[in-house]
Amino acid sequence: MHSVPPFVVPTRRVPAWGRLLVSTLLLIGLSMPLHATEEPEYQVVRTLADFEVRQYVDYSVAEVVVPGPADEAGSQAFPILAGYIFGKNKGEKKFAMTAPVTQAPASVKLPMTAPVTQTASQAGFLVQFVLPKGVTAADAPEPLDARIQLRDVSPGQVAVIRYSGFWSESNYTEHLGKLQSALRAADMAWTGDPVFSRYDAPFKPWFMRRNEIWLYLSSPQ
């Protein structure tokens, strides 16, 4: 539950020249200028010690339901949705990749979406790519793959805890517990299942990764 494929570290001993090459490539990669990845627009309306509350504006998504299990849902959905934004649509229009990618239970009606998110459901997993700003479900090109649906997302508020590192059940559970405890202490109620949001590619160093857990708030702040 609540998992994405872990990063597997080879157990074979790496020769000295190999370690030097990897280190050099990593340093070069970290020194290269990065282009900002577009995210849905939001404002931080409240900041507490362990989390922040964001107010998102409306935006649109391309989404697909996949069977899972949880640790395979992302890899099942990615080629489907990536194909759509990279031109497999009527008109062959291509979109820039956005962040994050979200994954949530297919049975849950999300009031909003953003990054890649993930939670478990008997009905499968709903994985969403955010469409670029200004693109709506009405004017986005029709997908060639009938499994893909386009949807407009209404504005909403979400409590967010952010952390780095590899995916692990213990890491996820620790930060979800912190978020829930902090919300209770602030007398703030949430609704629905938590959403795990991913912002970075698997090859990004673990200490630079941006992971988030979202809980949708019952009442605006």
Total-model pTM:
0.71
Residue 129 belongs to some domain of the structure = yes
From first to last of its 221 residues, what are the pLDDT tens digits of the chain? 433 333 333 334 545 544 544 443 444 343 333 446 889 999 999 999 999 999 999 989 999 999 887 667 778 999 999 999 999 999 999 998 888 887 777 764 444 444 444 444 457 888 888 899 999 999 999 999 999 999 998 888 999 999 998 767 788 889 999 999 999 999 999 998 888 888 887 778 888 889 999 999 998 88
Beta bridge partners of 214: 160, 195
Is-contact 175 71, C-beta < 8 A?
A: no
Say if 21 falls within a structural domain: no
Q: What is the pLDDT of residue 188?
A: 96
Written as six digits, the tokens of 10 are: 């080879």
Classify residue 73: in a domain, yes or no: yes
For residue 77, the domain's CATH number is 3.20.80.10
Q: Which domain, by its residues, includes 74?
A: 59-99+113-153
Structural domain count of the chain:
1
Q: What is the β-pairing status of strands 101-105 and 125-130?
A: antiparallel
pLDDT at 10: 37
Judge whether 137 lies within some domain. Answer: yes
